[in-house]
Amino acid sequence: LVEARLSGLAQRLRHKIEAEGPIGLDDFMRAALLDSEFGYYRHADPIGRGGDFTTAPEISQMFGELVALWCADRWLAMGKPDPVLLVELGPGRGVLAADMLRTAASIPGFRKAIRLHLIEVNPRLAAAQRSRLGEAEPCWHECFATVPAGPLLLVANEFFDALPIRQFERTEAGWSERRIAFDAASGEFRFVCSPLREPPPGAPADCPTGRVFEQSAAAAELVGAIARRVMAGGAGLLIDYGGEGGVGDSLQAVRRHRAASPLAAPGQSDLSAHVDFAALGRAARAEGAAVFGPAPQGVFLAALGLEKRLQTLSARASPEVLRELLLGAYRLTDRRQMGELFKALAISSPELGSPAGFS
């Protein structure tokens, strides 16, 4: 009965656990999201009303327009290199890049200089990107490592939250790792605690008993690689939801716009966790890059001129479009919506000075 209920990926994870013992949450997430056959991001069409969740560029065109202005500011600070690589990590349906390219055309020389590189593992989303961005002749990559050398502008919106994390728990007896076991009786995956001899590196000494500490080696490694590239000339803007310090259990699963159980049905729901911006900042600084923020998304977009852009667009909008514009601005910036939980972090070559949006 249990066999019949488990999907192909769950079967595979079950066999691995039975052979090797409980696995780390990072291994579970990597399989659930990226398994080449069954991983969520290999087959899902996740974004929008018919999918599992929506994102800032899908909410309002103003998001991509303002991110384009941020990039234009960095491009000017870099001395207007032509060509310049515009790299987007996890471009979804290509909406952010499309809004950025349209805006870039209003800045003399910028649009012409851009060579678009998209990092994507999902064939269905890559097809959507192709139909929306085909004219810009993008290059697709499965990972950042294959992006060619050259002056770089990089953006990532809601990408880092999908990278695998490990979870540790401070118990009365010391630190342990939360790993995933398989319970044969119920046919379900469940968390178990594996005691550790040493505290996990980077864990806060004052972490209260009973609290969870999260860490993403994948995110730190990727930021290190981005920082090394911006040190050769360029800047990156990472926007995601999260906080600083990694304390707290933030693992979540979303399916059809509703919370789901993270360990049930691996590969069939989106798994994500809060981004630890302090850890990303440390990884970038370790490579010598300058780091700005994190700034709350509402503050960041306001500093880039959201109000003015809203006024300009509103001036010629129908009542329905006006309503959509106002609702979009509200959702992106209100503290109870995306304005505070979502944050922007900039990584820049130090000689470029402070970027726009970070006062």
Nearer to ligand SAM, 80 or 132 (CB): 132
CA dist 283 and 289 (Å) reads: 9
Sign of CA pseudo-dihedral 94, 95, 100, 102: positive
Catalog residues that contact ligand SAM under the rule CB under 6 A: 34, 41, 47, 55-58, 90-92, 96, 119-122, 125, 157-159, 162
Q: How far is the CB of 12 from ligand SAM (least distance, A)?
A: 19
255 pairs with which residues across the strands? 258
Nearer to ligand SAM, 22 or 91 (CB): 91
Nearer to ligand SAM, 159 or 213 (CB): 159
Q: How far is the CB of 41 from ligand SAM (least distance, A)?
A: 4
| Residue 38 exposure: Cα atoms within 13 Å on the Cβ side | 17
Edge-first strand order for the sheet with 270-272 is: 258-260, 252-255, 270-272
Q: How far is the CB of 93 from ligand SAM (least distance, A)?
A: 6
Q: Are 25 and 165 in contact (CB under 8 A)?
A: yes
**Helix extents (H) in the chain:** 2-5, 8-20, 25-34, 40-43, 56-59, 61-77, 95-104, 110-113, 123-133, 217-231, 277-285, 297-303, 306-315, 319-333
Buried b / exposed e across 278-313, counting CB within 10 Å, b at 16+?
A: bbbbebbeebebbbbbbbbbbbbbbbbbbeebbeeb
Residue 32 CB-density burial (10 A; 0-12 exposed, 13-18 middle, 19+ buried): buried
Nearer to ligand SAM, 125 or 223 (CB): 125
Q: How far is the CB of 131 from ligand SAM (least distance, A)?
A: 15
* Residue of minimal Cβ distance to ligand SAM: 90
Nearer to ligand SAM, 59 or 247 (CB): 59
SS3 236: strand
Nearer to ligand SAM, 120 or 169 (CB): 120
Q: How far is the CB of 328 from ligand SAM (least distance, A)?
A: 14
Q: How far is the CB of 88 from ligand SAM (least distance, A)?
A: 7
Q: How far is the CB of 303 from ligand SAM (least distance, A)?
A: 20
Nearer to ligand SAM, 140 or 330 (CB): 140
